[in-house]
């Protein structure tokens, strides 16, 4: 069953499906959608959650074993499977077996990047869609952004003039995370009505140091700015996972743009919802980085994700390494 994101809440109030497949490239929206499934699972008495990363070399039979295994700590489990490249490959036959024989004690949540048309024609996708719920997370385009911001503002218990929302949308330029953080900052100030003057003042200082400013500095090859912004973000207590999300999004967009080639780059920008004012950093990075370098960036991003989740490595050193790879200049001593 295919659902829109706005339909998920009503669905979860009525039932909990055995499988959920969530795909998209917007980290904030993917995270919030997954959170809805996790919260609903808890309300249905599912307290135990197991997280699996289906990266290169992943044993899909392990998922099959876990899906059929009894929990040691609770009656039911939420098994979350993250597939960084969105393709289980031939070894994903075990996934088909899991779908064909669902365990009523477990809920399986599968998270992937945005799935293209070819991926949605595969056997594993069709099986999951038929047996559970599929939700595609689409980017918020420039025409939708003001309405999206207005709803978030109202959801935070505030109101804003149309002009203030229009300026807000212009300032964040599609950076949803920055928008959400700004709304929360204003809410914490106890303000009820957001004006144009408030947006001008509030966004002026924060625009310089955020995760997306870091990503743009990396794409532009500006090692000095990248170093300063990353240090500032760490010192300010920002979460490494949110910084990583911003970098991963840019890397995936670069890989997609590279596939279009120089002659069709305009078409590529349109497909990725990259606004004209945002295109210069991408053009600079595409002129500097080849496919192998971009895939190395993606591999380092996956290593950073594991470090953030506690594999023993220092995630901030890996974030520095990732920024280094994107800029093409060494930030750390060998």
pTM above 0.75, yes or no: no
Shared domain check, 168 and 90: no
Q: Choose the final residue of a domain: 103, 137, 171.
A: 137
Q: For residues 78 and 109, give the distance between their C-alpha atoms in angstroms, rounded to a whole number.
A: 7
Q: Is residue 17 part of a domain?
A: yes
Judge whether 332 lies within some domain: no
State yes or no: pLDDT of 273 exceeds 70: yes
Q: What is the pLDDT of residue 154?
A: 96
Number of other CB atoms surrounding residue 321 within 10 Å: 19
pLDDT per residue over 111-158, tens digit each?
A: 998 888 888 888 889 999 999 999 999 888 888 999 999 999 999 999
The answer to whether residues 313 and 239 belong to one domain is yes
Q: What is the pLDDT of residue 264?
A: 92
Q: Using 50, 70 and 90 to split pLDDT, how confident is the model at 333?
A: very low
Q: Clarify whether residues 8 and 132 are in a common domain.
A: yes
Res. 28: pLDDT tops 60:
yes
Return d(Cα 176, Cα 78) in angstroms, integer.
Answer: 28
Domain range enclosing 150: 145-206
CATH for 238: 1.20.272.10
What is the mean predicted confidence (pLDDT) over 299-318? Answer: 92
Question: Is 90 exceeded by the pLDDT of residue 239?
Answer: no
CATH number of the domain within which 152 lies: 1.10.8.60
Q: Which of 21-25, 208-212, 238-242, 268-272 has the lowest mean pLDDT?
A: 208-212
Q: Which of 281, 309, 274, 318 is nearest to 82 (CA)?
A: 309
75 and 167 housed in the same domain: no
Is residue 286 located within the same domain as residue 314?
yes
Contact between 180 and 145 (Cβ < 8 Å): no
228 assigned to some structural domain:
yes
Query: Mean pLDDT in the chain?
Result: 87
What local confidence, expressed as pLDDT, does residue 148 receive?
95
Question: For residues 19 and 103, what is the distance between their CA atoms, to the nearest angstrom?
Answer: 10
Confidence of residue 331 (pLDDT cuts 50, 70, 90): very low
pLDDT score recorded for residue 206: 59
The residue among 206, 221, 249 that closes a domain is: 206
The answer to whether residue 49 is domain-embedded is: yes
**What is the domain count for the chain?**
3
> Do 133 and 90 have their domain in common?
yes
On whether both 221 and 199 belong to a single domain, the answer is: no
**Looking at 189, 206, 223, which one is the last position of a domain?**
206
Shared-domain flag, residues 195 and 220: no
pLDDT greater than 90 at residue 309: no
In this predicted structure, what is the pLDDT of residue 129? 94
246 lies in some domain: yes
| pLDDT at residue 153, as a whole number | 96
For residue 332, pLDDT over 90 is answered with no
Strand-pair partners of 193? 159
Beta strand 19-24 with 48-53 is unpaired
Cα distance between residue 266 and residue 276, in whole Å: 10
pLDDT of residue 276: 82
Facing residues of 136 across strands? 23
> Do 197 and 219 lie in a common domain?
no
- Indicate whether 223 and 265 sit together in one domain: yes
CATH code assigned at 115: 3.40.50.300
pLDDT at 281 over 90: yes
Please tell me the predicted confidence (pLDDT) of residue 71. 56
Tell me the per-residue pLDDT of 154-206, one tens digit each, with 9 for 90 and over: 999 999 999 999 999 888 777 788 889 889 989 999 999 999 999 888 776 55
CB 102 within 8 A of CB 19: yes
Q: What is the pLDDT of residues 78-95, one digit of tens each?
A: 999 988 776 766 556 778
Average pLDDT over residues 327-333: 61
pLDDT 10s digits, 98-109: 888 888 888 999
283 lies in some domain:
yes
333 part of a folded domain: no
Quick check: is 244 in a domain? yes
Does residue 207 carry a pLDDT above 80?
no
Q: List, for residues 240-272, the tens digit of each pLDDT value.
A: 888 998 899 899 999 999 999 899 999 999 888
Tokens 């779908």, residue located: 99
Indicate if 98 and 190 belong to the same structural domain: no
Q: Are residues 113 and 152 in the same domain?
A: no
What is the H or E stretch that residue 107 is in? strand 106-112
Please report which confidence band the pLDDT of residue 209 belongs to, taking 50, 70 and 90 as the band edges: low
Closest C-alpha among 134, 157, 154 to residue 146:
154
- Give residue 334's pLDDT: 35
């Amino acid at each position: 069953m295919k659902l829109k994101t706005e339909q998920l809440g009503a669905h979860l109030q009525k039932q909990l499906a055995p499988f959920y497949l969530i795909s998209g490239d917007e980290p904030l929206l993917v995270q919030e959608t997954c959170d809805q499934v996790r919260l609903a699972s808890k309300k249905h008495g599912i307290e135990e959650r197991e997280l699996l990363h289906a990266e290169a070399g992943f044993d899909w039979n392990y998922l099959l074993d876990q899906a059929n295994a009894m929990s040691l700590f609770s009656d039911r489990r939420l098994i979350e499977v993250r597939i960084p490249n969105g393709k289980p490959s031939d070894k994903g036959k075990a996934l088909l077996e899991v779908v064909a024989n669902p365990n009523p004690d477990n809920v399986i949540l599968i998270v992937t990047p945005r799935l293209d048309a070819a991926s949605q024609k595969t056997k594993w996708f069709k099986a999951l869609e038929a047996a559970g719920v599929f939700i595609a997370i689409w980017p918020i385009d420039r025409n939708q952004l003001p309405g999206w911001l207005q709803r978030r503002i109202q959801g935070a218990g505030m109101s804003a003039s149309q002009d203030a929302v229009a300026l807000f949308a212009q300032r964040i330029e599609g950076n949803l995370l920055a928008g959400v953080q700004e709304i929360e900052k204003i809410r914490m100030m106890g303000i009820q009505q957001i004006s144009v003057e408030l947006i001008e003042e509030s966004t002026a200082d924060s625009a310089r140091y955020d995760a997306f400013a870091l990503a743009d500095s990396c794409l532009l090859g500006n090692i000095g700015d990248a170093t300063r912004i990353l240090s500032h973000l760490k010192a300010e207590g920002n979460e490494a996972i949110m910084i990583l999300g911003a970098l991963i999004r840019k890397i995936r967009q670069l890989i997609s743009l590279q596939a279009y080639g120089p002659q069709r780059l305009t078409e590529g920008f349109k497909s990725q919802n990259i606004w004209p004012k945002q295109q210069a950093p991408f053009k600079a990075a595409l002129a500097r980085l080849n496919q192998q370098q971009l895939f190395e960036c993606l591999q380092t991003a996956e290593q950073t994700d594991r470090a953030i989740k506690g594999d023993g490595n220092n995630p901030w050193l890996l974030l520095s390494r990732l920024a280094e790879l994107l800029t093409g200049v060494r930030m750390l001593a060998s």
